[in-house]
Amino acid sequence: MPNTLFPSLSVFFPAYNDAPSLPGLISKTFEVLESHVADYEVIVVNDGSRDETAAVLERMRAMYAPRLRVVTHPQNLGYGGALRSGFHAATREFVFYTDGDGQYDTGELPALLALAGPATGLVNGYKLERHDPRHRVWIGTVYNFCARLLFRIRIRDIDCDYRLIRRALLDRIQLTSTSGTICVELVRKLELSGCPVAEIGVHHYPRLHGRSQFFRLRSLALTLVQLLRLWVRLVVFP
């Protein structure tokens, strides 16, 4: 156990049809937090899942209450809606989130905590190597390049949902996106706040269960429309 525990942390996972991956993800997270954080909570946002996610979370909540809380959307609100609910539910000084599909390892969270200095506002992960089908890697690379260019974002990997954020900064910004463009909106607004930002490489693993919602045609179309609207609002007419 480290000599100094991280003082206060909310961890949350947006989840949509992630029943197979959640038990291992949540159990590993509690192991990590118990060893590295003094005061913590874990939140799962069930974004209108149609599989056994609700039943799995009910069992996990019975095991880890009162540290584990579940926020349930009766209908799917999209990735942006799930993140906004998670940020709203978080109560600790720092907020960490990653996806509920298990493609990132919460065992690497202590490395982010170590970079959170007294003034740090954001510690952002970047994928050391992306383990997805080739077409997803290509789309993700193009999306990341274009978003960084259009929105003048400095961090190297907007598409890496492995982030530690000071909650006081989240309280000062208003997020509106409902799709995956919320990551662009979030990072752009955090960078505009002038807060110090740190980055660290993290591992990305193949998806073992289900399929991504982001890379469906309808989701990509919605993301493109929202991205253009966001660019007009944040860059053209800020």
Residue 134: per-residue pLDDT: 84
Residue 188: per-residue pLDDT: 95
| Nearest CA-CA partner of 140 in 74, 204, 49 | 204
Residue 238: band (very low, low, confident or very high) from pLDDT cuts 50, 70, 90: confident
190-203 pLDDT per residue, tens: 999 999 999 999 99
158-176 pLDDT per residue, tens: 999 999 999 999 999 999 9
Question: Where do the structural domains in the chain lie, given as residue ranges?
Answer: 6-236
- C-alpha distances in Å from residue 188, one per residue of 33, 88, 113, 163, 209: 29, 19, 22, 14, 31
**Residue 106 DSSP label:** G
Position 236, amino acid: V
Residue 218: band (very low, low, confident or very high) from pLDDT cuts 50, 70, 90: low
Contact between 100 and 16 under an 8 Å Cβ cutoff? The reply is yes
Lowest mean pLDDT among 110-124, 156-170, 219-233: 219-233
Q: What average pLDDT score do residues 109-131 get? A: 95
Q: Is the pLDDT of residue 84 over 50?
A: yes
CATH number of 6-236: 3.90.550.10
pTM as predicted: 0.91
Residue 139: per-residue pLDDT: 82
121-134 pLDDT per residue, tens: 999 999 999 877 78
14-58 pLDDT per residue, tens: 999 999 999 999 999 999 999 999 999 999 999 999 999 999 999
Residue 217: band (very low, low, confident or very high) from pLDDT cuts 50, 70, 90: low
144-154 pLDDT per residue, tens: 998 999 999 99
Enumerate residues 6+ apart whose C-beta is below 8 A from 211.
Answer: none
User: By percentage, how much of the chain surpasses pLDDT 70?
Assistant: 94
